[in-house]
Chains A and B, each alone.
Chain A
Amino acid sequence: MRLIGVVLVTLFSHYRRHPGQLAMLLLGLWIAGALWSSVQAINASARDNYARAEALLGNGFDRLEREDGQTLTRDDFVQLRRAGVLVSPLLEGELITDRGETLTLIGIDPLTLPGDSTLARGQALGGLQGFIMPPWQTRLAPDTRSQLGTNPTLRSGTPFPPMIDVPELPPNTLVMDIAIAAKLLRADDSITALVSAADTLPAAPSGFTLVRADTRSSPGELTQSFHLNLTAMALLALIVGLFIVQAALGLALEQRLGLLRTLRALGVSGRTLVALLALELVLLGLLGALVGLISGLWLAKTLLPDVAATLQSLYGADVSTQLSLPWHFWLGGIGVTLGGLFIAGSGVLWRASRISLLGLGQAQVWRAGFQRQLLAQTWLGGVAALSALALLWLSTRTSGDALDSGFGLVVGFGLVAAIILAAALWLPPLLALVLSVSLSGLSRLTYLARSWPLTQWALADLQLQLPRLSLAMMALLIALSANLGVSSMVGGFRLTFLDWLDQRLMADLYLKPPAAQFAAIDAWLVQRDVVHERLISADADSQLLEIATGSAASRRPGLPLLIFGITPGQTLMADWPLLATLGDRDAAWQALKYGNAFVNEQLARGEGIVLGDRLSLATPGGGESVTVVGIYPDYGNPRGEVVMATHQVRRLFRVSPGSIGVVMQPGEDAGLLRQQLIERFNLTPHSLRDQREVKTTATAIFERTFAITRALNGLTLGVAALALLAALLAQAQERRRRLAALWAIGVPLRRLLSIQLAQLAGAALITGLLAIPLGIAITACLVWGINVAAFGWRLPLHIFPGEISLTLLTAVLVALLAAGLPMLKLWRTPPRSLLAEEET
C-alpha cells in the first residue's frame, strides 16, 4: 500500500510540474465525454418520451368514422352507445398559450373510455369528480408543466384548469375532461374520433367505417434513423476526442519514460508500475467523465429545443424540451468515457509494460518501429478499403429490393466508417511517401539541394515529426471529411428541397375555408378574372390492402396510408415534380385524371412498388384498385402517401374538399384578392396563407432540422484542431532543441519559425486535399445510401466548390492555429537557453 502511494504520488508529480499536459488530457476526455453524453442524453430523453407515448397507446384503439365523411358529433356517440356499440368520444385539438407555445389538448370521457379491467375502472373513479366537474383538471407531465411556467394562460387569456402532474403522459400533451376541452376548443358538440378497445368491434356499424388500431408506426420506430444519425455524429466526436487523449497520454508517457525506468531501477516491479499507470488512467478517466457528463447535460439542454423541433417537424413525434434521464444513462456515460480512455491508453500501457530496463536514457526507443507501423497501417488500410468495397457491393445489391431500412442504415454507416478508416490509415504512409519522394528528388538534383539546404532540412525534419503528427493528422482528416460530407449533404438537401418546394407550391394563395363556406367561396373564385386556376385538394385516410405486381405474387401489407387529392389542371401538369412516370408525363397525368394514382418515393421504396403495379386501397365502399402511373418526390414526409385526382378522392373516400390553392393570372396581385376574401367571407387570416408565408415556414423548419447537425459538425472540427494542438505541444520541447541547433549554426529565428509553419501548413494541405475526395465519397454514401434507408428518399449529389475551398482553408488554418501556441512560446524563449535545455 505504501509502495503504491509513493509511486502514485511520484507519477502524479509529473502533472504538477506540467499542468498543461494534465489540462490537455482532461480537455480531450471532457470534449469526448461531453459531446457523447449530450447526444446520449438527448436520445435517452427522447426515448423516454416515446416510451411514454407508446405506453399510453397500450394495445391501441380502433376508430369509427362516418361513412359520409361528416364530422362526428355527440349524437353519433350516443346513438352508437344506445345501440350497444361501446365507443368513447375523443376530442383533440391544439391550444396556444399566451407565450405562443402550442400544446395538444385531448378531451376524453373517462366514463366510457375503454379500460382493461373493471377493477382498473373502479380505481379510476377515485379521482373522478375533480376531473369531470368544474373547475376541472389539466393533467400533464411534469416536464410539460415546468415548460409552461407559473400561471400560464391561453392566448385568449383563459386560465388553465388546475394542473395535476401525471408523469406517464407524453410531453406537450394536456388531458382534460371532454366538457372543458370542448369549451376551450370551441368544438361545441363535435368530436374528433370515436374509439373502442382494439378488436372488440367485429364489424363497422352501418353508416360508419371502422379503422383498426395501427400499432405499426410508433414514434420510436419512425425516429430510430434520426437517433442513429445523431449517435453516429457523437461517436465521431468521441473518437476525435480520444485522439486528443491519446496524444496527451503519449506525451505524458514519453516524458515520464525516464521516471518509469528510474522507478524500476529503484525496485518497483513492471507489473506494479503498469497497474498503477492504469489506476492513474481510471482516476483521470473518472474525473474527465464526470466533467464531460456535466457539460454534456448542459450541451444537451441547449441543443434539445432544436432536436425537439426537428423531431416534431420531421416525424411528428413530440419530444419534451426538458431532459428526463433514466439511471442507466449516467452509468453508460461514465462507462463509455472510461472505455474510450482505455482504448486510447492501452497503447501507452502496453508500451510502458515493455520498457527495456537497459535502455535507460534512450527516450526514443519506442519510436524506432515507426517504419513497421507505417507498413502495418498500409495493410490495415487495405483491409478497410476492401471492406468498404464489400459493403458497397452489399448496399447496391440490397437497395433494389424492399429492404429493411435498419439493415440498410447499418450497411450505410458501415460503408462510411470503412471509407474513413481506410483513408485515415493510409494518410501517414501517404505523407511519409510524399516526404521521402520529395527528399530523394531533392538529393538527386544536387544543385537544388545545394541551393535549398533549408528546404531539405525542413523535409527531413518533417519526416522526423511524422510519427507524432500522424495521429493528429488522421484526426484532422476524419473531421474535415466528415465536415465536408455532412455540409455537402445538408447543402444539397437544401438546394433540392427549395427547388422542390418551388415546384410544389405553385398556387399564390392557399385557403382552408370552413366546410360550410366552401362552395360559396369556390363559386366566388370562379367568377374572378384575376384567378387563373383553382387547385382544390382533399385528403382521406385509407389502408393499402394489397399490391399486385404483374409477375410476382401479390403482397398484403395492410399499411395505413394518407390519400391526397390534387387537381390535375394546367398548372400542376406543367411543373409538378415527378421522378418517374408510366409512359410520358402527359399520359401519366391523363391516367391520374381517370382514377389512377401516383405514389411518393418513400412508399415506392418502402413497399417495393414499381410503375404499373396495382394497389388495392380501403374505401368506405370496399377495396378499390388503382394503377401506379407515377412516382413523385416527397421530401420531409416520413410516411407513405398516394396522390389521386381530387374528384376521385372525394368520390371514392366520401370526403369533403380540404383546401383551395388559388393560381393568379400572370402579373395579378394575390394580396388584393386575399383582402377581398377576408372581408367578403369574414375569414380569419389563419385560414388564408400566401405562398411566400408557406415557403418561409417550410424553410425555417428546414433550418432548424439541420441546426443540430451543423452544431455537432462544427464542434467535431474544433475538437480536431485541439487534437492537432495537443500533438504539437507534445513535441514542442523536443523541437525547440532541434531548432536551437539550427539557430546556433546561423539560421535566423524568424526564418526557422516560418519554416515550421510551412511544414505544418503543407502537411495539413495534403490532409485537406485527401479530405476532399473522401468528403465527396461520404456525401455520396449519405445521399444515396443512408438517406434512402433513413428517410426513404434519394437526393441528387451536389458538389459545392465553395465548401471544398473552405475545407482546405480550414485545414491550413487549423494547422496554423494549432502551431501558433508552441510557436509563440518558442519566439519568446531566448535561443541560448534552448541550447542549454537538458535532456531528461
Chain B
Amino acid sequence: MLEFRHVHKTYTTPQGPLSVLSGVDLHLDAGESVALMGESGSGKSTLLHLAAGLDLPDRGEVCIHSQSLASLDESGRAHVRRETLGLVFQQFHLVASLNVADNLRLQARLAGCEDSVWSAKLLERLGLAGRENHYPEQLSGGQQQRLAIGRALASRPALLLADEPTGNLDETTAETVLELLLELVAESGSSLLMVTHSPKVAAPLDRRLILRHGQLLAESGESHLPCV
C-alpha cells in the first residue's frame, strides 16, 4: 500500500542544513492503521507530506501501490492524491466559500467517484445532517474537523493521511472525533497513517511508530521495522 525505502530528507535553513529524515523505512498494508508519534520537530509532518506526494525525498523512495511517487510528474502525483489518498490536517482547510454539503463532496467530485448514499451516511454519522447549507465559519471547531474528515473519506480513499486531526480540539471533542474517524476508516476500508503526539490517541491503532533523530522506531523503541 504505502512504502518508504531509505528515505532521506534535509532542509536548508539559515542556520545550515537540517536533516529531518535519515533513512526511513516504512511499510503499510491495506486496511492497516498506523500511528506516527514523536516530539515536535521530529519530522512527523515531513514524513506525512512525503507520503502525500506534497514533497519529494532527497534520497530513497516513497511508493504508493508500488508506484514510486518521484517517478510521477506533478500532475501524476496530483492524480494519486485525488484518487487514492485522503488528507486530514490539523488546520481544517475547508473551503470557506462552499457550504457543508459541497465541502464534503468536493474531493469525491474531483476524483469523479461521488457516492451520494455514502455522502449522506457520512453527513449523518458526522452529526452534520441538517447543516448541509451552513458555511464552515458557522460551525464549531469539532464540527469543522468532522467535516474535514468526511471530505477525506467521501471518496473512499485507499489511504487516509491524518496530521494531528484532533490537535485543535478539546479533549472530549477529540475523543468523539477520533472514535468516529476510526469507525469510518474501518467502514470505508481505508488504510490510515495518523500523526499524533498523544499516546492516548495512538492507542486504538494497529501499530504505533516513533520518529526520533530521523529514524523510525517501533513503540518499544527497540525493534526497527524493516521494509519488507
Contact = CB atoms under 8 A, between A and B. Distances in A.
B182 to A, nearest CB: 22
Contacts of B54: 265, 357-358
Interface stretch (B22-30, B83-91, B198-206): B83-91
A10 B98 contact: yes
Interface in B68-127: 74-75, 77-83, 85, 87, 89, 91, 93-98, 102, 106-107, 109-112
A360 interface: yes
A2 B107 CA distance: 12
Contacts of A361: 91, 93
B74 A6 contact: no
A361 B92 CA distance: 10
A69 B102 CA distance: 89
Contact of B79 (A16, A265, A267): A267
A272 B82 CA distance: 13
B96 A17 contact: yes
A259 B81 contact: no
Contacts of A689: none
Interface in A313-370: 357-358, 360-361
A268 B110 contact: yes
A13 B95 contact: yes
B52 A840 contact: no
Nearest to A5: B109
B5 interface: no
B83 A10 contact: no
A258 B112 contact: no
A259 B83 contact: no
A258 B75 contact: no
| Residue among B77, B102, B110, B112 facing the most chain A CB atoms (10 A cut-off) | B110
A263 B102 CA distance: 13
Of B55, B82, B135, most A-chain CB atoms within 10 Å: B82
Which of B77, B83, B96 is packed against the most chain A CB atoms within 10 Å? B96
B93 A264 contact: no
Contacts of A17: 96-97, 135
**Most chain A CB neighbours (cut-off 10 Å) among B49, B55, B75, B78:** B78
Contact of A265 (B81, B111, B137): B81
Nearest to A15: B97
Contacts of B136: 840
A736 interface: no
A3 interface: yes
Given A266-B82, A267-B79, A360-B91, A7 B135 contact: no
A3 B75 CA distance: 13
Nearest to A262: B93
B102 A266 contact: no
Given A358-B54, A840-B137, A267 B106 contact: no
A272 B75 contact: yes
Contacts, number: 88
A269 interface: yes
Nearest to A258: B93
A204 to B, nearest CB: 82
A259 B97 CA distance: 9
A267 B78 CA distance: 4
A82 interface: no
A361 B95 CA distance: 12
Contacts of B52: 265
A357 B75 CA distance: 13
Contacts of A14: 96-97
B197 to A, nearest CB: 18
Interface string A255-281: 000110111111111111000000000
Contacts of B137: 838, 840
Nearest to A13: B97
A369 to B, nearest CB: 16
A271 B79 CA distance: 12
Contacts of B109: 2, 6
B35 to A, nearest CB: 21
A272 B78 CA distance: 10
A352 to B, nearest CB: 14
Given A2-B112, A17-B96, A358-B55, A265 B87 contact: yes
Contacts of B151: 266
A261 to B, nearest CB: 7
Nearest to B81: A267
> In which size bucket is the chain B interface?
20 to 34
A261 B97 contact: no
Contacts of A264: 78
B69 to A, nearest CB: 13
A183 B152 CA distance: 91
B93 A360 contact: yes
Contacts of B96: 14, 17, 258-259, 840
B211 to A, nearest CB: 17
Given A259-B96, A838-B137, A358 B49 contact: yes
A7 B151 CA distance: 15
A14 B135 CA distance: 12
B95 A267 contact: no
A267 to B, nearest CB: 2
Contacts of B97: 10, 13-14, 16-18, 259
Contacts of B95: 10, 13, 259, 262
B86 to A, nearest CB: 9
Interface in A782-840: 838, 840
Contacts of A18: 97
A21 to B, nearest CB: 11
Interface in A155-187: none
A16 B97 CA distance: 7
Contacts of A360: 89, 91, 93
A269 B102 contact: no
A10 to B, nearest CB: 6
Contacts of B87: 265-266
Contacts of B77: 269
Nearest to A1: B112
A264 B54 CA distance: 9
A267 B49 contact: no
Contacts of A272: 75, 78
A268 B93 contact: no
A268 B106 CA distance: 11
A271 B77 CA distance: 12
A263 B98 CA distance: 12
B44 to A, nearest CB: 14
A266 B112 contact: no
Nearest to B86: A266
A270 B76 CA distance: 11
Contacts of A271: 74-75
Contact of A7 (B80, B93, B110, B112): B110
B110 A266 contact: yes
Contacts of B94: 262
Contacts of B112: 2-3
Nearest to B148: A262
Contact of B74 (A10, A13, A269): A269
Interface string A359-400: 011000000000000000000000000000000000000000
A6 B106 contact: yes
A271 B73 CA distance: 11
Nearest to A840: B96
A719 B165 CA distance: 48
Contacts of A265: 52, 54, 81, 87, 89, 93
23 contacts: A10-B97, A10-B102, A14-B96, A17-B96, A17-B97, A17-B135, A261-B93, A262-B95, A266-B81, A267-B80, A267-B107, A267-B111, A268-B78, A268-B82, A269-B77, A269-B78, A270-B74, A270-B78, A271-B74, A358-B49, A358-B55, A360-B93, A840-B136
Given A14-B96, A358-B49, 16 more contacts: A10-B97, A10-B98, A13-B102, A16-B97, A258-B93, A258-B96, A261-B93, A265-B54, A265-B93, A266-B110, A267-B80, A268-B82, A269-B74, A272-B75, A361-B91, A840-B136
Task: Kindly list the 10 A-B residue pairs having the minimum CB-CB distance in the complex, ordered from nearest.
Answer: A267-B82, A269-B75, A269-B78, A267-B81, A13-B97, A17-B97, A262-B93, A14-B97, A357-B54, A6-B109
